[in-house]
Structure 1
Amino acid sequence: MRELVIGQNEAGQRFDKYLKKLLSQAPGSFIYKMLRKKNIVLNDKKADGTEKLKVNDTVKLYLSEETYTKFSSDTAETFVKEQLPEIDLMHLPFQILYEDADVLMINKPSGMLSQKAKPDDISANEYILAYLLASGVVKKENLNTFRPSICNRLDRNTSGVLIAGKTLKGLQEMSKQLRMREVKKFYHCIVEGNITASQHIRGYLRKDAKQNKVKILEKPEDKDDKFIETEYVPLENYKHATLLEVHLITGRTHQIRAHLASIKHPVMGDVKYGAKKRNEITSQLLHAYRLELENGEEIIAPYPKEFKDMIKKLKG
């Protein structure tokens, strides 16, 4: 018999989903059969799998060691060994902006993927998991039933605030707030040309997956065209450039980059969307600068060095 105690990272999910992660190699029919026969019980009572787990709930599995081993291949051990990077807590690859029991917010550097694009990629998601393991917040064995994950995404070459749920509660709550637009997202970017007035622009976005690029339309031409809405305010004007604060009202792929390019003010360094190639810039100067949370709290990500250096150069 094995006894497991539900922790913060497992709480909130359905019992059957938890069991399917724990016994990842077992067919669903086996799990439900074990529940019916009371070979798997929750808090010493028969369960049907629809129960919502709570912290300190106890799960008992009356299975032979051979059966448990057969159906519960330790995917966490393999995952940690093969996919997570080693991390030095004194020299993290990102800056921590905010952390509580459920949520982590970091300042993602330009050049770091938010999530894997290929199986062998190391993204912010893997760095965050490595940090949580190294700091003792997450135990390796718990990764079999819940893995902390990011809630929003930034393009590889966009820096700034990236949100992760450390617990299921944190992941679900932050994902809901983002989906319902209860979190306001503000970006800073340096664009080509002079913009002197604030503007609220709307349009429709069409994605070209083959080119990994999007097109902005005034009116929808296809059922897959997505409505987009962007608001911006000029903060500083330079000779041939402008520092903008952009309020991302809808959050679509490449929305800010494509929308600004469509009004002839591409983000500096963003050659994919028509900006001039500049040897001194390695990526587009677009930074997820500020979040306004539902409770009124602000999270601010300091500018990266390349962004600050360009402002200094433009000021002369």
Structure 2
Amino acid sequence: MPEKLLSSKDNLQILHEDNHVIIVNKRVGDIVQGDKTGDKPLSEVVKSYIKEKYNKPGNVYLGVVHRLDRPTSGIVLFAKTSKSLPRLNKLFQEKEAKKTYWAIVKNRPPKDQDTLVHFLKRNPKQNKSFAHKKEVPDSKKAILEYRILKELDNYFLLEIDLQTGRHHQIRSQLSAIGCPIKGDLKYGFDRSNKDAGINLHARKLEFVHPVKKEPVNVIAEVPNEPLWKACT
């Protein structure tokens, strides 16, 4: 992954910031939290940005509310205060935060719009979730709604509303209907993207601010790449 494509404190794409929350547009290749790779996570990049911008001494508080897979791009929300983190966690747990995704797939879905219901079983060794039509042991129910937003040359842009938040849910469910996401080798696409990412983007987030009680609506620009730009 070219280093220049990853986020740093100087190139963060900040979509919203106030005293309690900060929302950024994650680049393909960023990891939200630290993992076994040892690569610097986005959470640490955001801390560095806050520390420098506000000249904060000592450690900076930052709470991770949710995650995005490394090869995806788009909206990531962080809590800047210990007061807002449990409230934001509750918003997500109670499905009061509306998340909308865009995905580019090669095959036309069976229907122009539909609700998909599967039971996902995660295989930790493969870091992969398998979609089943009926419940199987240790599976979790997964629901999403999609619609075709645009027909591109050789591809289709889908808009997806998540009803549940499961491991690799969108990737697994779209693959199950014969529509793997462009670049997603793990879920059946035939070749990788040059940046090792996949064409899945967390496009929109809507929620009521946990402290101010005002609506927050953010939209993340798609990556600066020709196919994505054709979508807007």
What band does the TM-score fall into relative to the shorter chain? 0.7 to 0.9
- Is the 2:118–2:142 contact (alpha carbons within 8 Å) kept by the matching residues of 1? yes
Letter in 2 for 1:262: A
Q: Structure 1 119/313 Cα, relative in aligned 2: closer, same or farther at 3 Å?
A: closer
The residue number in structure 2 matching 1:215 is 130
Q: 1:91-121 CA deviation, whole Å, 9 max, x = no partner?
A: 32x2000001000000010100011112732
Could you say what secondary structure the match of 1:193 adopts?
Answer: coil
Are 1:151 and 1:175, in contact at CA under 8 Å, matched by a contact in 2?
yes
Distance 1:237 1:88, change over 3 A: closer
Q: How does 1:233-244 map to 2 (within 5 A)?
A: 233-244=147-158
Query: 1:172/1:198 Cα in 2 relative to 1: closer, same or farther (>3 Å)?
Result: same
1:134 is matched with which residue?
Answer: 52
- Percent identity, aligned pairs only? 34
Task: Tell me whether 1:310 sits opposite 2:224 in the alignment.
Answer: no
1:124 matched residue in structure 2: 42
Q: 2:115 aligns with which of 200, 211, 215?
A: 200
> How far off its partner does 1:129 sit?
1.1
In structure 2, relative to structure 1, the CA distance for the partners of 1:314 and 1:299 (3 Å cut) is closer
Q: Give the structure 2 partner of residue 299 of structure 1.
A: 218
SS of aligned partner of 1:310? helix
Unaligned runs of at least 5 residues, structure 1: 1-86
Contact 1:186/1:288, CA 8 A, preserved across alignment? yes
* Count of aligned pairs between the two proteins: 220
Question: Cα offset for 1:219?
Answer: 1.6
**Pairing partner for 2:27 from 89, 109, 116:** 109
CA drift at 1:213? 0.7
- Alignment partners' CA distance in 2, 1:200 and 1:128: 36
Q: Which has the higher contact order (CA 8 A, sep 6+)?
A: 2
Separation of aligned partners in 1, 2:165 and 2:176: 17
The 8 Å contact of residues 194 and 238 in structure 1, kept in 2 or not, is answered as: no
Letter in 2 for 1:243: L
| 2:3 corresponding residue in structure 1 | none
Aligned counterparts of 1:266 and 1:88: Cα–Cα separation in 2: 30
Aligned partner of 2:191 in structure 1 is: 277
**Residue 183 of structure 1 corresponds to which residue in structure 2?**
97
> CA RMSD, aligned part only?
2.2
Counterpart residue type for residue 194 of structure 1:
R
Alignment of 1:90-105 (within 5 A): 91-92=10-11, 94-105=12-23
Higher strand share: 2
Which of the pair has more CA radius of gyration?
A: 1
Residues in 1 aligned to 2:103 and 2:23: alpha-carbon distance in whole angstroms: 20
Distance 1:242 1:169, change over 3 A: same
- 1:164-179 map, 5 Å: 164-179=78-93
Q: 1:192/1:119 Cα in 2 relative to 1: closer, same or farther (>3 Å)?
A: closer
Q: Distance in 2 between matches of 1:119 and 1:266?
A: 26
1:129-172 CA distance string (max 9 Å, x none):
111111126431x55xxx31221100001100000000011212
CA–CA separation in structure 1 for the residues paired with 2:38 and 2:194: 30
Deviations 1:216-240 (A, max 9, x none): 0112211x21111111111111343
Q: Runs of 5+ in structure 2 lacking a partner?
A: 1-6, 209-213
Change beyond 3 A, Cα 1:312–1:164: closer
Q: Which has the higher helix share?
A: 1
